[in-house]
Structure 1
């Protein structure tokens, strides 16, 4: 797994998430980013999910691909909420 050099966010997931949310998510979608190419493909279809305020989207990386260079930078660049 790739270590992300940022502290865990207290929101939008976890036991304290409800106190930080104005709209409660009914479902959480975990997007697994293996490579920049596959992540960009997932980002193409993500608007279908993010348009629904009941759906919360978070990202993670696996670090298992030999082609994962740039994935963490891509997620940081789009302001993605990431979990280890």
Structure 2
């Protein structure tokens, strides 16, 4: 729905299914809105803050975020939910 309603936006969802008769297991999600990227590139400061926290629920995982600021001190967030802060998660986000 995000890609249909917001042309140029990206929404990626990764699940893993161990067998055909089992339910898929959520691994990671990434959402990038086109307007957010255009605004960020047009007026951002060259400093980006990075942080991550553990999700302490039955499914676990981590919530990772990157925040940039523009000339008006407005924040441009990027939030990602992944199964763990590992090489596979980071590679999936940058590719």
Higher RCO (CA-CA < 8 Å; seq separation 6+): 1
- Between Structure 1 and Structure 2, which shows a larger proportion of helix residues? 1
- Same-fold call, TM cutoff 0.5: no
- TM-score, scaled relative to structure 2: 0.27
Which protein is bigger by CA-based radius of gyration? 2
- TM-score, scaled relative to structure 1: 0.29
